[in-house]
Amino acid sequence: MMIDALPLSVTLPLIGAFAVTVSPGHARGPGLLAALLTAASALSVTAAVWSDGVLRADLGGWGVPLGIALEADGLSAAFLAMANVVALAISVYAGGYFKQESARHFWPLWLLLWSALNGLFLATDLFNLYVTLELLGLSAAALGALTGTREAVAANLRYLLVGLLGSMSYLLGVALVYAAYGVLDIGLVAEAIEPGPIAWTAMALMIGGLILKAALFPMHFWLPPAHANAPAPVSAALSALVVKAAFYLALRLWLDVFAPVLNEAAANLLGTLGAAAVVWGSWRALRAERLKLLAAYSTVAQMGYLFIAFPLLVATPPGLARDNLLAAVVLLALTHGLAKAGLFLAAGMVQKTAGHDRIDDLGGAAQALPAATFAIGLAGVALIGLPPSGTFLAKWMMLEQAMILGLWWWLVVMMIGTLLAAAYIFRVLSRAFNREPTPYRFVNDARTELPALLLGLIATFGLGIAAQPLWVLLEQGAFG
């Protein structure tokens, strides 16, 4: 029964996508049902990994190297859980957000994206990973252009091309690996790989393609316009999930495939780019005039933090310290995912109420929507990295490890990023205090405000106070 949940979390959204395509007039009901079932099956996968260990399903009974296999270890189960909680919240929100006409286009693409996402977390072979990556990029770019405005279409066309370039580069790497070793399953490649020009080139191509998709500085140029111009629930999915998926895959390859051929120079390059992303992204977020553009630049910065983990990971010898560091990085990624989605969903509410999202003119709207403002506040706390959020714990552990290693400059970079983040978040929050008296009701539109608020709450009070289960989960598989 538990084994079945693995393929179900990929196929259920696919079936749902088919159903809503068949009856586009009534997309919301079946769409929400598919969302609920998908999230339930994905969370049951995580629960099973948490209690029983690594789960594996060989589809059709064919084993490696012939069949398609799905596998969930601690790392994938953790990302899977975060992604599905966020996706469910986005679905509920979208049910209240989209009008009839846009809903018709939203649901099929959204469920397709969800299926690709779950597939990406669970696939075990490099080529299947490519397929999910490509599918993810295509559906994401299509969703981003949903508003149909000129800016949105232009930005997402660019996003589409960049995404194709990224997956192409990844695919070239996969082809190299296949030509050299004749296998594609992650476990088998890891056994076969040895240091040399082929492995290095493959690594450069694959990781290079992924950092393009993860919008690591200076390859971030496509992200802000694409994410800022999409409808709010789509922005949330793009910023919280799609770029995180590319990071997940980079981390997975780094840990499981290329571990024998790693070197410090590559890690330092990634870390340096991450540091530049933290400073540049935060600075641009601070200067942004629109709330959603601010959130998009903040994503650029937050992706930077994640890549700072690579030099720390390489410098830490295997053992308890490294496991803790890895868990901290995952915690950082998960908290960002939840918080960023919460921020975009709340921003969407503010934008809808005010009719615009120019930060300087937001006053009354913020005050009229306490729940949305609180969601922005809670998400903001997590994005800055203040207690009691998961990011605070994660940053504390990463920085402590950096200081133990004597790599103090990462601490400087991250503190600069933290202060800049505080500045841009409070630039928004300060708009909530003005003299326009409004009738105070905490929740005004439950279906859209509660998902945003809940995501913010999980990111701060949930992961910030009880992060312990993540460690239990991550002991399964990859870092056992």
Site string for another protein, 408-427 (x = CB under 8 A): ---x---x--xx--x---x-
Task: HSE, CB side, 13 Å, CA atoms: give it for residue 317.
Answer: 1
The reply to whether 397 sits near another protein by the rule CB under 8 A is yes
CB of residue 327 vs another protein: minimum separation in angstroms?
Answer: 8
Total residues at the site for another protein (CB under 8 A)? 41
Taking the alpha carbons at both ends of the chain, their separation in whole angstroms is 25
Question: Is residue 62 a contact residue for another protein (CB under 8 A)?
Answer: no
The CA-based angle 210-238-414, given to 5 degrees, is: 70
The smaller minimum CB distance to another protein, of residues 195 and 387, is found at 387
- Residue listed under structure tokens 């009719």: 355
Structure tokens at 38: 């998908």
Amino acid identity of 365?
A
State both tokens at 432.
């909530």
Q: Does 278 bind another protein (CB under 8 A)?
A: no
Q: Which amino acid is at 425?
A: I
Pair of tokens at residue 303: 């992706």
Q: Which two tokens stand for residue 80?
A: 């899977």
Task: Report the nearest approach of another protein to the CB of residue 329 (Å).
Answer: 12
Amino acid at 154: A
Nearer to another protein, 72 or 393 (CB): 393
Dist CA 431 CA 370 (whole Å) = 12
Q: Which is nearer to another protein, 310 or 374 (CB)?
A: 374
Q: How far is the CB of 45 from another protein (least distance, A)?
A: 23
Least distance (Å) from another protein to the CB of residue 428? 13
Site for another protein in 315-334 (CB under 8 A): 324, 327-328, 331
Q: How far is the CB of 362 from another protein (least distance, A)?
A: 13
Residue 416 Cβ vs another protein, minimum distance, rounded to whole Å: 9
Please state, in angstroms and rounded to a whole number, the distance separating the CA atoms of residues 293 and 359. 10
Cis bond leading into 65, ω under 30°? yes
Q: Is the Cβ of residue 208 or residue 364 nearer to another protein in the bound state?
A: 364
Tokens of 45: 């996968």
Residue from the set 129, 212, 393, 473 that interacts with another protein by CB under 8 A: 393
Q: C-alpha angle with apex 154: 151 to 156, nearest 5 degrees?
A: 105
User: For another protein, which stretch binds (CB under 8 A), given 188-196, 197-205, 333-341, 466-474?
Assistant: 466-474
Residue 311's Cβ-side half-sphere holds a number of Cα atoms within 13 Å equal to 22
Interface with another protein (CB under 8 A): 324, 327-328, 331, 370, 374, 381, 386-388, 392-393, 396-397, 399-401, 403-404, 411, 415, 418-419, 422, 426, 430, 433-435, 437, 439-442, 464-468, 470-471
